[in-house]
């Protein structure tokens, strides 16, 4: 008779780093994604653990070379014997199977390396959406002792920005000649980028893109540099050939050093933890609202507003008062 491994069992196997550890880590991530009591138990087990992972976000337009870059970065970190986890995140699409399958091929030899853990997350099947699971997933991987957690996501829309807020360092990957998409994305780029990467530097037009981005970075700065202020570097790479990857790793290290010195690493960690707390709160509220009582409360509130007996703010206050009572009880 085989019994289901408990969460402490899974943690022991994951920590041992032995043959079954990749599978144990995968199961722990499933626990995180599924939420509820097991996820709460796991979170409790992880309290007090050291988390020293460098959390690196990689985002950019479709086809810019993020996955190729991720594989190259994994290779670079592995030569330093760092343990690396990759979370490939697609916040928008519930249908990422094909793309992620391609990424597995792109990850090549890393798929079989026990020092590398690769996981895809999509919005499919998550009660609270991806945002609910991503912060806790990053935290789990850090608590399991990974030295580097790479989060790869597509695009620079709001949900990608949310995901990128989980990272200590965000690299935005661009490619030359991507036209209007790049233009449109520019506004959001400086908000989230710590490092700008111009991939496909072997393509025509790379020089112009680099020049463009450098002047954009210069314009985005507010005149006089403060001491210790981070300057966003613009780095050319050819990810398919591994060119420029060492410089990128160096820039990521440098940015991390800057975060530590300026005290902003702690700030980013708090921001990540805040996101984890917020997502649990929102999940709880959603569960309560969708419960039998919750639905009848909402239904009654809707009736009261529709019939003109009250307004929707007052009705919402009543529902919130009920929710607060439920949480205490
Ligand atoms: N010439 C050239 N091609 C590259 C380079 N980097 C990546 N590619 C190619 O560009 C294509 C897209 O690369 P991916 O790594 O899949 O890009 P991605 O940003 O992950 O794409 P999505 O996940 O679809 O958004 C692939 O055919 C790569 O081989 C590069 O530096 N130079
Ligand atoms: Mg990709």
Question: Can you tell me which atom of ligand 1 is nearest the CA of 173?
Answer: 19
Cβ(297) – ligand 1 distance below 6 Å: no
Which amino acid residue places its CA nearest to atom 28 of ligand 1? 65
Instruction: Give distance in angstroms: CA of 220 to centre of ligand 1.
Output: 28
pLDDT of 185 higher than 80: no
Mean pLDDT of 164-189: 75
Q: What whole-number percentage of the chain has pLDDT above 70?
A: 81
Of 62, 68, 238, the residue with max ligand 1 atoms within 8 A of its CB, to mutate for a pocket test, comes to 68
Pocket test for ligand 1, best of 239, 243, 247 (most atoms within 8 A of CB): 239
Expressed in angstroms and rounded, the spacing between residue 240 Cα and the centre of ligand 1 is 8
pLDDT of 96 above 70: no
Region 41-58: mean pLDDT is: 95
pTM across the whole model: 0.86
Q: What is the 3-state secondary structure (H, E, C) of the chain?
A: CCCCCCHHHHHHHHHHCCCCHHHHHHHHHHHHHHCHHHHHHHHHHCCCCCCCCEEEEEEECCCCCHHHHHHHHHHHHHHCCCCEEEEEEECCCCCCHHHHHHHHHHHHHHHHCCCEEEEEEECCCCCCCHHHHHHHHHHHHHHCCCCEEEEEEECCCHHHHHHHCCCCEEEEEECCCCCHHHHHHHHHHHHHCCEEEECCCCCCCHHHHHHHHHHHHHHHCCCCCCCCCCCCCEEECEHHHCECHHHHHHHHHHHHHHHHHHCHHHHHHHHHHHHHHHHHHHHHHHHHHHCHHHHHHHHHHHHHHHCCCCCHHHHHHHHHHHHHHHHHC
The vertex-171 CA angle with 249 and 150, nearest 5°, equals 70
Q: How far does residue 88's CA lie from ligand 1's centre (Å)? A: 15
* Ligand 1 in reach of 36 Cβ (< 6 A): no
Ligand 2 centroid distance, CA of 26 (Å): 20
- Asked which of 177-191, 252-266, 308-322 is least confident by mean pLDDT, the reply is 177-191
Alpha-carbon distance of 260 to 299, in angstroms, equals 51
pLDDT at 127: 46
Tell me how far CA of residue 309 lies from CA of 118, 303, 319, in angstroms: 55, 9, 15
pLDDT tens figures, 14-37: 998 777 888 999 999 999 988 889
Higher local confidence (pLDDT), 96 or 13: 13
User: How far, in Å, is the centroid of ligand 1 from the Cα of 176?
Assistant: 12
Contacts of 106 (CB under 8 A, 6+ apart): 67, 68, 71
Compute the distance from residue 62 Cα to the ligand 2 centre, in Å: 7
User: Would the CB of 200 count as within 6 Å of ligand 1?
Assistant: yes
Give tens-digit pLDDT for 230-262: 999 999 999 999 999 999 999 999 999 999 999
Which comes out higher in pLDDT, residue 191 or 117?
117
Mean pLDDT across 303-326: 95
**What atom in ligand 1 is closest to the CA of residue 71?**
15
Gap between the Cα atoms of 6 and 79, Å rounded: 34
- Nearest residue (by CA) to ligand 1, atom 7, is 65
Residue (of 55, 69, 4, 58) closest to 30 by Cα position: 4
Does 62 contact ligand 1 (Cβ within 6 A)?
yes
Amino acid 183: pLDDT: 55
> Which ligand 1 atom is at minimum distance from the Cα of 203?
1
Q: Is the pLDDT of residue 162 over 80?
A: no
What's the gap in Å between 64 CA and the centre of ligand 1? 5
Q: Does residue 238's CB lie within 6 angstroms of at least one atom of ligand 1?
A: yes
Ligand 2 centre distance from Cα of residue 31 (Å): 25
What's the pLDDT at 98? 42
């Amino acid at each position: 008779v085989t019994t289901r491994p408990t969460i402490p069992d899974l943690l022991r196997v994951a920590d041992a780093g032995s043959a079954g550890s990749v599978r144990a880590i995968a199961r722990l991530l499933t626990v995180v994604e599924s939420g509820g009591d097991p996820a709460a138990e796991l979170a409790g087990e992880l309290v007090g653990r050291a988390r020293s992972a460098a959390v690196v976000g990689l985002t950019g337009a479709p086809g810019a070379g993020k996955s190729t870059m991720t594989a190259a970065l994994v290779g670079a970190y592995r030569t330093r014997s760092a343990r690396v986890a990759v979370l490939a995140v697609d916040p928008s699409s519930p249908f990422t199977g094909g793309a992620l399958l391609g990424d597995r091929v792109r990850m090549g030899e890393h798929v079989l390396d026990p020092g590398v853990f690769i996981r895809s997350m999509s919005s499919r099947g998550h009660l609270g959406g991806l945002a609910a699971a991503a912060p806790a997933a990053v935290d789990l991987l850090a608590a399991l002792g990974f030295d580097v957690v790479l989060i790869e996501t597509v695009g620079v829309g709001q949900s990608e920005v949310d995901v990128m807020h989980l990272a200590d360092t965000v690299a935005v990957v661009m490619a030359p000649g991507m036209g209007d998409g790049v233009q449109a994305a520019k506004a959001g780029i400086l908000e989230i980028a710590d490092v700008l990467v111009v991939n496909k530097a072997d393509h025509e037009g790379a020089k112009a893109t680099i020049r463009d981005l450098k002047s954009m970075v210069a314009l985005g700065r507010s005149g006089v540099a403060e001491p210790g202020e981070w300057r966003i570097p613009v780095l050319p790479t050819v990810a398919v050939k591994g060119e420029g990857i060492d410089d990128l790793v160096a820039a990521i290290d440098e940015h991390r050093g800057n975060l530590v010195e300026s005290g902003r690493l702690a700030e980013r960690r708090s921001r990540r933890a805040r996101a984890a707390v917020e997502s649990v709160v929102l999940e709880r509220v959603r569960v309560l609202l969708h419960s039998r009582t919750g639905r009848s409360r909402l239904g009654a509130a809707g009736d009261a507003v529709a019939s003109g007996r009250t307004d929707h703010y007052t009705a919402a206050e009543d529902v919130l008062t009920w929710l607060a009572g439920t949480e205490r009880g």
